[in-house]
Amino acid sequence: MKRTILVAALLVSLAAGAQTRQERLTGHVYYLASDELQGRKAGTEYARMAAEYIIGHYSQIGLKPFFGEWTVPFTKYGKEYTDVVGVIEGNDPVLKDEYIVLGAHYDHLGVRNGNVYNGADDNASGSAALIEVARELYASRENLKRSVIIAAFDAEEIGLYGSTFLADTLSKTIGKDKIKLMMSIDMVGWYKTAGKLEIEGVATIRDGKSIITSEAERCSVTVDPKRFESSVFTATDTEGFAKMGVPTLAVSTGLKSPYHKPEDDAELIDYEGLDKVTGYISSLSGTIASDPSFESSGKVARKHDSRKKFLEFGVVAGLQSNHIDFPKSSLETKGDIGFDAGIQLDFNFGDFALGTRALYEKQVSEFPDGNDVFASRGNYDQQAVTVPVLLMYKPGDWSAGVRLGLGGYYSYVFKSNASELALPLQYEPNQYGIAFEFGFKAGPLLMNDFRRQLNNLFTGDGMPDARLVNFTFTLGYVF
């Protein structure tokens, strides 16, 4: 039955030579986002049905498989997935060995809790657009100087695996320097609602903004060119290529559709807008593939730059939990909330770094009654300038990774209420101790810090032996 549905869809669409581009786009989306394909979950028979549909159209258009076979299988964590990769060969004797890669993922989320996640916008719309872009580029192939790779990716939704696999494979087979641009077409079906087509990454191309906007004017499309992809919480199929230094463009109408919801169905797609977007991508791709002067700017988005800078500067702020430990009496006070804020510097040496901060701190802890140490009477608080210095282990690239640090700190306390406690005390202005940091970096910093004082919190004869213990939840941002 499923094979019959696939064959019927192909026969209808392949026989539709008289159809308009908008009508063909509509047919592609309605098939790829139909309940029969059960949400096209990566690696399933339903994803394979989508791949076969795409292969049928690539073959009918005239594309040739880039690797000799249409299906390019790869394995991740013991499960097999399939990319579909075709090529339109350029005509210039030299430039035909350079490549423009156009890609769109065809997988989606499958079925969850009995609901079919059809993924009409994400990403039947991009897959449909890619088919029609391929059709138009092939029809004007005499004008293409560079070759154009047309890639339908599997396993995007579970980790960008298909595009990352292709990026690695092309790097090994043709060399990354031969890849002049990678463009990802992902969620392009809500142009009217969005009011614009977002294009991220224009700064990775020399004169990129001019190229993007000039083509948009010719195609009467409103575009929003952004210098780089910036969100560390979202990613698309550009990532594997961008991390190799290849210029990339991420093309989308944004998150206006019912993103990752069962309601993302074919009837909600703006087909007139999808037609305009497809025409624009086709025109832009043809222009780039035919322009001998097109080249990289040499710039890379921060989120895609795996190179660690020698010096990282940032700002940090945190909430503290502080308590006082009386080691000779085995007593600890209850914690209370304080805060800190300041600047951070990391001096990087590969996977290691020397990290330091300059912080203003207000530290607060409950404090025992002078007559009954098990009773709490008010708070002890102090204000200080603190400088921790830690040897850091920071494996991973610039944009993300674990942070582990061990070292010490010095605090100069300039204000305290020690003399106002039930048992008047004299605070020690020069405090020091050990410091430990565990955290994770994902663009902004997310850090947890622990510090324990080594010298006495108080000074003078007859003062109790006390140590301030601090745990801080810190958020920060690195420039």
Band (398; pLDDT cuts 50, 70, 90): low
- Residue 88: predicted pLDDT: 98
pLDDT at 39 > cutoff 90 = yes
3-17, 294-308, 405-419, 456-470: range with highest mean pLDDT: 405-419
Band (423; pLDDT cuts 50, 70, 90): confident
Q: Which amino acid is at 13?
A: S
- Residue 331: predicted pLDDT: 83
CA separation for the pair 196, 190 (Å, rounded):
9
**3-class DSSP state of 47:** helix
pLDDT at 86 > cutoff 90 = yes
CA separation for the pair 107, 359 (Å, rounded):
48
Tokens of 326: 């009386």
Band (4; pLDDT cuts 50, 70, 90): very low
CA separation for the pair 292, 306 (Å, rounded):
29
Tokens of 271: 């087909």
Band (372; pLDDT cuts 50, 70, 90): low
Q: Which amino acid is at 269?
A: I
pLDDT at 323 > cutoff 60 = yes
Mean pLDDT of 161-183: 97
Q: Could you report the per-residue pLDDT of 202-251, keeping only the tens digit for each?
A: 999 999 999 999 999 999 999 999 999 987 667 899 999 999 999 999 99
In terms of DSSP bridges, do strands 64-65 and 223-226 run parallel, antiparallel, or are they unpaired?
Answer: unpaired
Instruction: Please give the sequence-ordered ranges of beta strands (E in DSSP) within 77-208, or none if there are none.
Output: 79-88, 99-105, 110-112, 115-117, 147-153, 179-185, 197-200
185 close to 25: Cβ distance less than 8 angstroms: no
Mean pLDDT of 409-417: 96
Q: Mean pLDDT lowest for which of 111-125, 410-424, 430-444, 461-475?
A: 430-444
- Residue 159: predicted pLDDT: 94
pLDDT at 16 > cutoff 70 = no
HSE, side-chain direction, 13 A CA sphere, residue 197: 31
**Best CA proximity match to 445, nearest among 407, 406, 474:** 474
Band (164; pLDDT cuts 50, 70, 90): very high
pLDDT at 473 > cutoff 80 = yes
Instruction: Please give the sequence-ordered ranges of beta strands (E in DSSP) within 238-303, or none if there are none.
Output: 248-252
- Residue 453: predicted pLDDT: 94
Model-level pTM greater than 0.85?
no
Q: What are phi and psi of 372, to 5 degrees?
A: -130, 100
- Residue 376: predicted pLDDT: 54
Tokens of 224: 């929003």
- Dihedral angle sign, alpha carbons of residues 235, 238, 241, 244: negative
Q: Mean pLDDT lowest for which of 109-123, 146-160, 373-387, 401-415?
A: 373-387
Band (5; pLDDT cuts 50, 70, 90): very low
Mean pLDDT of 55-63: 97
Question: Kindly report the CA angle at 405 between 403 and 409, in degrees rounded to 5?
Answer: 135
pLDDT at 138 > cutoff 70 = yes
Residue where the block lists tokens 């298909």: 162
Kindly report the number of other CB atoms within 10 A of residue 455's CB atom.
11
Distances (CA, A) of 427 to 360, 377, 423, 431, 466: 18, 18, 12, 10, 10
Mean pLDDT of 135-160: 97
- Residue 375: predicted pLDDT: 53
Q: Mean pLDDT lowest for which of 76-85, 395-404, 429-438?
A: 395-404
pLDDT at 253 > cutoff 70 = yes
Q: What percent of the chain has pLDDT over 70?
A: 91
Kindly report the number of other CB atoms within 10 A of residue 395's CB atom.
11
pLDDT at 87 > cutoff 60 = yes
Tokens of 464: 């109790």
* Helix axes of 126-139 and 271-290: crossing angle, nearest 10 degrees: 50
Q: Which amino acid is at 404?
A: L
Q: Mean pLDDT lowest for which of 13-27, 59-73, 93-107, 202-216?
A: 13-27
- Residue 335: predicted pLDDT: 85
pLDDT at 62 > cutoff 80 = yes
| Residues paired with residue 368 on neighbouring β-strands, in sequence order | 376
- Residue 478: predicted pLDDT: 82
Tokens of 327: 């080691």
Band (400; pLDDT cuts 50, 70, 90): low
Band (8; pLDDT cuts 50, 70, 90): very low
pLDDT at 31 > cutoff 50 = yes
Q: Mean pLDDT lowest for which of 7-11, 163-167, 384-388?
A: 7-11
For residues 334, 337, 339, 345, the Cα torsion angle rounded to the nearest 10 degrees is: 50
